Structure formats: C-alpha cells, structure tokens
Structure 1
Amino acid sequence: MQTDLKQLEISETALQTLTGVPRTLSRSSNARSQEDRKLLKFTIVAASIAALIALLSSLCYFVPNFRIPAAVFAFCLLFGASCLAMEMAELALIGFAFALAAGAYAIYTLTAVSLQIVLLSVAIAGAMALGVAVLIQVIPLGFSKNRNYGNPKPSRSLARLYGEVDKYNKVIRDIHVFDQLEAAGNPIRLHDRESVLSALKITHGDLVRALKTEKILRENPDFNPEQFAIDLNAFHAIQVSEQAGEYGQFFDTTMQIAIAVQKTMRDLQKHP
C-alpha cells in the first residue's frame, strides 16, 4: 500500500491504543447482545407456553367437563402447527378450524364456572409463566457474570465507531486497488484523488477524536459533557465533483462516515 494511504489507515493496534478495549472483546460483546435478544424471545415464547399449559391443566382439574374440549383443542392446535411447519396448508387449516371449534366449546363449558375458579387458574398460569421466565433469565445470566467478571463492557457508541472505522479503512483499501488499476495501464483519471485524501484526513482526525472521547467518557461515567460538535464545513470547502470523478463515490462514503461519527459524538453527550 502506498505511503500516503498507509498513514491514513487506522490499524487494529492503533484502535486498541485509542480505546483501551481489545477488538475481540467488542465483537464478543456484540455477539452477547444478539444472544441476549434471542434469549429474551425464547423467554417470552417459553413463558407463554408454560402459562397456557398451566391454565389448561388447572381448569381441567377444577372443571371435569372442560377436559375433553381442552384436550381436543390442544391436539388440534399442535396438529395444525405441525402441518404448517411441513408446509401442508390444507391440513393445517383443518387442524386450526377444529382447534377453534374445540376452543369455542371449551369456553362455553366455562360459562357455568365460578369466577373464583377462573381467577385462581389465571393466577396459577401467571405464577408458572413468571417462574419459567425467571429460571430462563437467571441461570444463563449467572454463568455470564462469572465468565465476564472483571472485563470492561464496551459501549454501544464504541461498537458504532468500530463500524465506521471499518468503513473508513475499506475506503482506503478501495483507493489502493484503484491506484493499482491505474498503474496497470487502465484509463483512469486521477484528478479527484487529492480531494478524497483531504476528506479522509479530516475523517481520520474526527474518528480519532471520537474514539478518544468515548474512552474518556467510559472511564469517567460521572462526567456530563455539555456539547460536542464536528465541523463538516471543511468537507464542503473541498472542491470535488461527486458525479464526474471516479473518486466521487469514495468522497461520498467518507462524508457519510463523518456524519455518522458526528451523530455518535452527539449520542455520547446524551448517553455516555
């Protein structure tokens, strides 16, 4: 890679120096965030199923006439769901239709049941759902806390900045490929190259400043910043034709990175 591009690139070593957080830790933190979202969805589904089973079971125990329609409802619902999973739409519709009829009849059998029994069954179902949700959440979180004890937790702002750094470095790599194509004899005009490099230098400074700012605020959580701003006027002062030049797309991408960094800096002000 040419010297001018190499100097602009933000290496992994430089990133760790600027942030004080290993890149691998940030990636594992993002992976854990995705796992947490999956765990939440699983918790909701599991708690709902547990509540339904507990509700049906308690009603069957208190109301003998409810047992047969409840069993038919559960069987037809399971049958319809299985057919739907196997893409057997006709059989799935039949199963759901029978489940709907059985459910309606099951509700009809409850019209003669006292309100106390219904409320008791609902309370049992709620307690079962809450217990399942607590078990699903507490046990994995306990292992997670023990596994990550003592490790700093990268912020969302840092994760976004890492993404912008990746985009920024890709622009530099693309320009290097562009230079190689030109050196190979391809008819490429280079009159916009210096303008793009000027924009990249501005973005490099903004990224470094944003990374340092995030680290300082992360290490000083009690500090409340009043104002952050990144002046984009310097970009507009660079005379570049975004449509005519081959480097126009690189310049546009660099502008978008600068705007994203500016937004992240403002977010740091609100949520350090």
Structure 2
Amino acid sequence: MGLSLAITVAWNVYKWVKAKPLATLAGVRDEVEKYHEVTPALDIIDRLTAAGKLQANLINRGEAIEALKITRESLVCALKTERILRKNQQFIGRRYELFANIESNLAALMALDVSDLATEYGRLLNEALEIGMSVHKEVRKLQNGR
C-alpha cells in the first residue's frame, strides 16, 4: 500500500513538473479560443444589422476588424515566442551560468588587453631607449669630432 502511494505521488509530481512549462502555452491557447469566439460574434452582428434588427452604427465595423487583426498578430507572435522558449529551455535554464562565463571571459579579455597594453608600452619604451642611446652616441661622435 505504501509503495503504491509513493509511486502515485512520484508520478503526480513528475507530471506536474512536466506540465509546469506548458502553463504559459495554455494561457495563450485560452486567448486564441477567445479570439475565435469573437470572430463569429462580429459575423452575427453583421447579419443582424443586415436584417434590420440592430442599428448600423452600433459598432464601428472597421475598428473592430482592425482590433481583431492586431489581436491575431499578437497571438501569432505569442505562439512563436512560446515555441522558441520551449525549444530552448535548457539554454534558458543555463542563462546564469552563461552570463557568469561571459563575465569571466570579459575579465580575461580585459586582463589580456592590459597585458597587451603593457607589452606595447614596454616595446615603445625599449624603442625610445634605443633611439636615445643612438642619439647619445651620435652626439658624442660629433663632440669628439670637433
């Protein structure tokens, strides 16, 4: 009895964890269903207006259709976004790890840049010293030549 209770609880927890990411998809699906309920309602209003049972200016049909188009575009965008997020769930779950890696890589690049900059300064200093020494030698030659 205890074993079957444990298996049932484990199965329910497993199903709950698997269904949790689909909650946002279910919300978007509900919105799609509401959209599909409004479309026939607009058709019914058009029929009633044509039959003379409603005033023609009760609703602005053009604005209603434009609102339906905008709603449809938003729903399509939401469904595409949801699909992308579901397909890349493992990537999204690792986002903090990825950001930490980016930060450490950026710090390494900055250290490399500082090291490269120090090397560049060292090379310039070396060249300046060589130029100074050659100028000094030439000045001595000129002084000894007089």
The alignment's TM-score, normalised by the length of structure 2, stands at 0.50
Q: Identify, as 1 or 2, the structure richer in helix.
A: 2
